[in-house]
Amino acid sequence: MKTMLRGNEAVAYAFKLAKINVFPMFPITPSTLVPEMISKFVANGELDAEFIPLDSEHSAISAAIGASLKGARVGTATASQGLALMHEILFIASGMRLPIVMGIGNRALSAPINIWCDHQDTMAERDAGWLQFYAESNQESLDLILMAFKISEDKRVLLPSMVGLDAFVLTHTMEPVDIPEQSKVDEFLGELKARYRTLDTKNPATFGAFGSPRHYMEFRYAQHFAMERAKHVIDEVFKEFGEKFGRNYSKINEEFTEDADIVFITMGSCSGTAREFIKMKRKEGKKIGLIKITVFRPFPKDEIRKALKGKKVVAVIDRNFSPGFGGAVYGEVLATMYGETETKIIDFIVGLGGRDITFQTFEKVLEIAEKSLEGEVEKINWIEVDKEAVEKEEMK
Amino acid sequence: MKITRGAVVEEAGNSIENKTGTWRTFKPIIDYTKCIRCMICWEFCPEPSIYKEDGSEKPAPKEALKKLPVPIIDYDYCKGCGICVNECPVKAIDFVKEVK
C-alpha cells in the first residue's frame, strides 16, 4: 500500500514492521520524529515494545547494548552531535557483536551549529565497525532498515548497522512509500532469535570485559572477517528482498556507465538530482554515467573497481570533508582504484551543511571533469563556495 | 583466554586465573608479633586478597590472641594498594618495595 510518508516516518514504520522489542532514545533534530512515531505506536498498542527515554544519546546507545545482549531486537535513531556523543559506545556495540540497527538523519556537525544535511556525522563513525547504508529516498530508508536487521542478525555478520537518510531532504519530505504487508515482513525477517550468547542468570558469562595485548588483535580481526563475510550476506539479503518485495538493491547502482567516459559517484538523496542531470546531458550527447553507493561499509571495492575499469574520469561527489585530506568517499575510491593509471579521480566537495545540490552544482562539476580530459585540474574542488571571502579573512 | 565471538568469557568464576599479584610495587607484610587479630585489614582489602586462617601457630603480642584467627595475605592477588597498611590500628603491617 502506497502512503505519503516523511523519511523519519518511513524509518519508524520499518522499526514497527521489524517488531523491535526495545527502542531506547534521545531526541535530536532532524531525527526526532522517529521516536515520536514509535512512542505513538507503543501507546496505541500497535507495537509491543519497550520505549526508553534516556538522558543522552550516550545512555540511549548504552541501553541499546544492554537490551541487545538480552537478545532483544533493538532500534534507535539519532543524528549529528547525538551520533558523535555515542561515539565511544558505537565501538563497544560492534566489538560485542550486537545487531543493533540505527536510523541516522545525516546532518552536519558544529561549529557553527547547523541542523541541515551532509554526511559528516556518519563519516566520522566510519571506523566504528558498523555497517553503513545510505538511502536515496524514503522508500529506500524503510527498505534498508528492514534489510539491515536481516544482515546484522545473520550469524555470519553479527555487527550493528546504521542507515543514513539525508536531513530534511528525506527526513522531513513527503514521498509516496510502499509499506510492505506485516505478514510478508514477518516471513522475510523471521522470528527474532538471538544467534549469539545472551545475558542469562542461569548461565552466567562475562561480556566485553577485557582483551589483553595477547588477544585483542584477534577480536579486531574477527570484525574484519565478519565485515568481509557481510559483503556476501548483503548480496543474499538484497536478492531475497527483491524477490519478495519487488524492489531491487545492490551495493552500488550503475546507470549509463557502459559507454561513459565520465562517471559521477554519489551517495544519498543527491543521486536523484545527478540522475536527472545526467539524463539531460546524455540527450546532448555527453557520455556521462552514474554510480550510486548504497553500502559504504563494508566498502564495495570489487564492484567499484569493476564498474570504473577503463573509465577516463571519475567525479566523486563528497557531501563530507576530512580537513587535511579531502572527501572521505574520494579517499576510498582512490585507494580502490590504485594502479588503474588511465582513470583520473577528482574530488568535489558539495552540499555541506544543507547547501542545495542542484543542476547548476553538477554543471560546475561536469565543467571541471571535462577540463580534466584535456589537462590537469585540481584534485580537490570546492564547488559553489565563496573562497574569496574566506581567504581575505584568513589572510588578515 | 579463549577467542570467542564478541570477547565473551563463557564460563563464570575464572577471574582466579588472572594473577594480579604481578602488578604490585610495594608489598604489605604482617608482623604477627604486633597483630591484635582485629581483622580490620581483612575487612578493608578491596581485592579481597586477605583471608582468615587458624592462628595458633603464629606469634602474637599476647598468648590469649593465639585462639583467634589471623589475617593472611594472598600474594598471588594482592596488588599492593596499601589500604591494609593505612588502616591497621597498631601499625603491624610493613610496606616494603617489591623485589622481583
- In order of their start, the domains of chain A are 2-245 (3.40.50.970), 253-394 (3.40.50.920)
CB A382 within 8 A of CB A349: yes
| Confidence at residue A148, expressed as pLDDT on a 0 to 100 scale | 98
Query: At a CB cut-off of 8 Å and minimum separation 6, what does A115 contact?
Result: A29, A30, A80, A107, A108, A167, A354
Cβ of A201 under 8 Å from any chain B Cβ?
no
- Cβ distance A185 to A146 under 8 Å? yes
A-B Cβ pairs (cutoff 8 Å, strict)? 48
Contact A197 B6 (CB under 8 A): yes
Name the grid cell of A337: 582504484
Backbone φ/ψ region at B6: left (φ over 0), alpha (ψ -120 to 50), beta = left
Helix (H, G, I), strand (E, B) or coil at B58: coil
Contacts of B11 in chain A (CB under 8 A): 205
CA–CA min distance A204, chain B (Å): 6
Which value, to the nearest 10 degrees, does the dihedral of the CA atoms of residues A323, A30, A91, A301 take? Answer: -60
Distance between CA A232 and CA B71 in Å, rounded? 60
Please name every residue paired with A289 in a beta bridge, in sequence order, or none if there are none.
A263
Task: Write the Ramachandran bin of A285: left for phi over 0, alpha for psi from -120 to 50, otherwise beta.
Answer: left
Dist. CA A343–CA A179, nearest whole Å = 42
pLDDT at B100 over 80: no
- One-letter amino acid for residue A150 of the chain: K
CATH T-level fold of B20-97: Alpha-Beta Plaits (3.30.70)
Helix segments in A169-215, DSSP class H: 182-189
Q: Is residue B95 predicted with pLDDT exceeding 80?
A: yes
**Nearest CB to A197: which of B3, B10, B12?**
B10
**CA angle A253–A255–A261, rounded 5-degree value:** 120
Question: Do the Cβ atoms of A207 and B11 come within 8 Å?
Answer: no
Chain B residues 10-49 with CB within 8 Å of chain A: 10-12
Q: Is A160 on the interface with B (CB under 8 A)?
A: no
Q: Which chain A positions have a beta carbon within 8 Å of B10's beta carbon? A: 197, 205
pLDDT at A210: 82
| Predicted TM-score (pTM) of this structure | 0.91
Does the structure show a pLDDT above 80 at B29? yes
Average pLDDT, chain A: 97
What is the per-residue DSSP string for A81-129?
Answer: HHHHHHHHHHHHHHHTT---EEEEEE-PPSSSP--S--SHHHHTTTTSS
Question: Which of B3, B5, B9 shows the shortest C-beta gap to A209?
Answer: B9
Percent of residues, chain B, with pLDDT higher than 90: 82
How far is B72 from chain A, CA to nearest CA, in Å? 29
Distance from CA of B8 to the nearest CA of A (A): 5
Is residue B15 pLDDT above 90, yes or no? no
Give, in degrees to the nearest 5, the angle at Cα A153 between A149 and A156. 130
The angle subtended at Cα A205 by Cα A201 and Cα A210, nearest 5°, is 145
How far apart CA B96 and CA B98 sit, in angstroms, is 6
Find chain B residues with C-beta within 8 A of A196's C-beta: 5-6
Amino acid (1-letter code) at residue A8: N
Enumerate residue ranges in chain A where pLDDT < 50. Answer: none
CB contact under 8 A, B12 and A218: no
Q: What is the pLDDT of residue B12?
A: 84
Q: What is the model's pLDDT at position A1? A: 79
Indicate the residue type of A315: A
pLDDT of residue B18: 85
Quote the distance between the C-alpha of residue B51 and its chain's center. 7
Per-residue pLDDT, A49: 98
Complex confidence, ipTM: 0.81
Q: Closest-CA residue in chain B for A208?
A: B7
DSSP run (H or E) holding A316 = strand A313-318
A211:B1 CB<8 A = yes
Closest C-alpha to A337, from A263, A267, A238, A272: A263
A207 touches chain B (CB under 8 A): yes
